[in-house]
Amino acid sequence: MAGVGLAYGLEYYLTPIQERAFSARHELLKPSGLIGQGYGVIGTLCILMGVPMYSLRKRARVLARVGKLKVWLQTHIFLCTLGPFLILLHTGFKIGGVVSIAFWSMVLVVLSGVFGRYIYAHIPKTIHGQFLTKQAIQDRKAELIQVIRTECDITAERARQFLLVAPVTEPKGFLHSLVLAFQYDHSKRLRKRSLRRLLSESSIPPHVRERTIVLVLEQISLQQQIVLLQPFQRLFRYWHVFHLPLSTVMFLILLVHIAVAVLFGYTWVF
């Protein structure tokens, strides 16, 4: 939808602001136009649904077993990415006044959300979204080694060969933890390619190779996550202190913008 909207109005959005009134699509795409206002309404609804839904799912006991937390998080991210983009189309890429404050607040919220999603993805969790303890990760590592040996039908020596990685560096502060996370992500991609080459030279059946790669990479990830567990959990708590108030500010500015628009006489066009 967002892509279609951008493609439909691209010529209009690229037109200089002072010349847009002469465009054939101005009446439709201007902020108070049928399509332009529609973008604003739908974008606002996306934010109104997306901002509280994930927090409610985590905190409300009545919702504790309603779907997987991961699905709620993905829906939250989708709505809170689509909503701001539709609001950007609503403004016609014309940022000024109260709109500029709302827009840049929205940009900060989205960027902080992307950063928070990266941190969250690196903290091992149960299927219900609870963070694992270091002991639980160690237990899962031991289980995986046995699963790799049995499911993939390989010897203990070959399993150790697959799981052999460079010693994991201990992080020295939050910034170093992030640098290490980027390095681990890159090394995991390289490891996947080397595993694929190694398995292609072995006698392991092709249908077992992909399963072997998935299990081995999961085991390597757990080994790295043990090191990053404590600094990333602290970083995630600090991120919440920043992201939640910023989301509230964005929400309030959005309401102020709507109130100002109504006071200036802009009415519902639908």
pLDDT digits (tens, 9 = 90+) for 138-151: 777 667 666 666 66
Question: Mean per-residue pLDDT for 247-252?
Answer: 80
Share of the chain above pLDDT 70, in %: 74
CA atoms within 13 A on the CB side of 205: 5
CA-nearest of 33, 111, 46 to 79 is 46
Chain Cα centroid distance, residue 30: 31
Residue 55's pLDDT is 76
Both tokens of residue 125?
A: 């969790």
Question: Mean per-residue pLDDT for 147-166?
Answer: 59
Residue 186's pLDDT is 78
Min mean pLDDT across 94-103, 159-168, 227-236 is at 159-168
- Work out the angle at residue 245's Cα, subtended by the Cα atoms of residues 240 and 246, and round it to the nearest 5 degrees: 100
List, as own/partner pairs, every contact residues 62-66 make where C-beta atoms lie below 8 angstroms and the sequence separation is at least 24, other chains included: none
Beta carbons within 10 angstroms of residue 164's beta carbon: 9
Mapping DSSP to helix (H, G, I), strand (E, B) and coil, where does residue 131 land? Answer: strand
Return all residues near 249 (Cβ < 8 A) that are at least 6 apart: 105
Do residues 1 and 81 make contact, with C-beta atoms less than 8 angstroms apart?
Answer: no
Do residues 180 and 248 make contact, with C-beta atoms less than 8 angstroms apart?
Answer: no
- Confidence category of residue 1, pLDDT binned at 50, 70, 90: low
Is pLDDT of 33 > 60?
A: yes
Question: Mean per-residue pLDDT for 155-173?
Answer: 60
Q: How far apart are alpha carbons 148 and 178 in whole angstroms?
A: 29
Residue 247's pLDDT is 79
CA atoms within 13 A on the CB side of 220: 26
CA-nearest of 100, 78, 72 to 1 is 78
Amino acid at 55: S
Beta carbons within 10 angstroms of residue 71's beta carbon: 12
Is pLDDT of 184 > 80?
A: no
- Per-residue pLDDT tens for 37-83? 888 888 888 888 887 787 777 777 777 677 777 788 888 888 888 88
Question: Mean per-residue pLDDT for 167-195?
Answer: 74
Residue 196's pLDDT is 75
Min mean pLDDT across 15-24, 74-83, 240-249, 257-266 is at 257-266
Is pLDDT of 156 > 60?
A: no
pTM of the prediction? 0.67
